[in-house]
Amino acid sequence: MVHQSFKMALSKIDTEMDQEKYLREVTRHFRGIEKPLKYGPVVENLSDLISALHSEFSTNYVNIEMVNHLMLSYKSNPKEWKKFAKFDRYKYTRNLVDAGNGKFNLMILCWGEGHGSTIHDHSDSHCFMKMLKGELMETRYSWPESTTAKDHLENLKEGEEFEYHDALQVLGKTTMGVNEVAYINDNLGLHRVENPSHSDTAVSLHLYCPPFDTCSMFEKTTGKRVQCNVTFWSKYGLKSENH
Ligand SMILES: N[C@@H](CS(=O)O)C(=O)O
Ligand SMILES: [Fe+2]
């Protein structure tokens, strides 16, 4: 009897708990793994990785550690990802590889020499970043503490949030090489990523779950926050129309 009601309770959770809500909840606890799992599945190529990710996301209870494992387990092969790697002269590009049935976004980011992102958050999603080529330097920052100084309100433009007066604090810096995977979520802070090389490009593979199309960007010296849309330079190997 107890067993049966327990089963009923579980099936209730299964149907009522949506995956997005569940993932946002795990965001609070997951910190990332550094090595592939000892007995985890082996990923031979990019299409294996994509299929394995789809099956991982097919249930409501995504094993985020397994997602991390799969990202670590794939070994970069430029022949497999070249068709997605489209560069721009002026800024890093975001190229959609797979929209994960609406459950995750897998994309390839192409970084020209010296290109970098602005300090940003990840809209409460999990973010895995795997190096495919070259090196990237990641700097992490703490969140600005918000204040309520009324005299700043009049200076706010539409879409801007509250002013902060102190510079963002640097939490750490890491340089990542080919096949390494970094993990971040809003709980772990903000970050900025840059290609420190002035002679080589860099390419990285990012997985976001749940997917998001806006995030916040921050000014380092004031902590000022602006909501921004994030767009794709290309989708499935084809250049987006608006570029
Ligand atoms: N999160 C950034 C890339 S990075 O700098 O981590 C983006 O999706 O554009
Ligand atoms: Fe990021």
Q: Delimit the domains of the chain by residue range.
A: 19-239
Considering only CA atoms, which residue is closest to atom 6 of ligand 1? Answer: 193
- The mean pLDDT of 7-28, rounded to a whole number, is 70
* Residue 37 Cβ < 6 Å to ligand 1: no
pLDDT of residue 143: 94
Give 40 or 113, the one with higher predicted confidence.
113
Q: Are strands 234-235 and 93-98 parallel, antiparallel or unpaired?
A: parallel
pTM of the shown model = 0.87
Angstrom distance (rounded) from CA 120 to CA 143 = 10
Amino acid at 102: G
Give 161 or 86, the one with higher predicted confidence.
86
Tell whether 191 is in a known binding site.
yes
* CB atoms closer than 10 angstroms to residue 229: 7
Q: Which CATH class, in words, describes the domain spanning 19-239?
A: mainly beta
Ligand nearest the Cα of residue 233 is 1
- The mean pLDDT of 31-56, rounded to a whole number, is 95
- The mean pLDDT of 129-138, rounded to a whole number, is 98
157 φ/ψ sector (left φ>0, alpha ψ -120 to 50, else beta): beta
Res 61 pLDDT > 90: no
Whether the predicted interface score ipTM is above 0.90: yes
Amino acid at 36: P
Percentage of the chain beyond pLDDT 90 is: 74
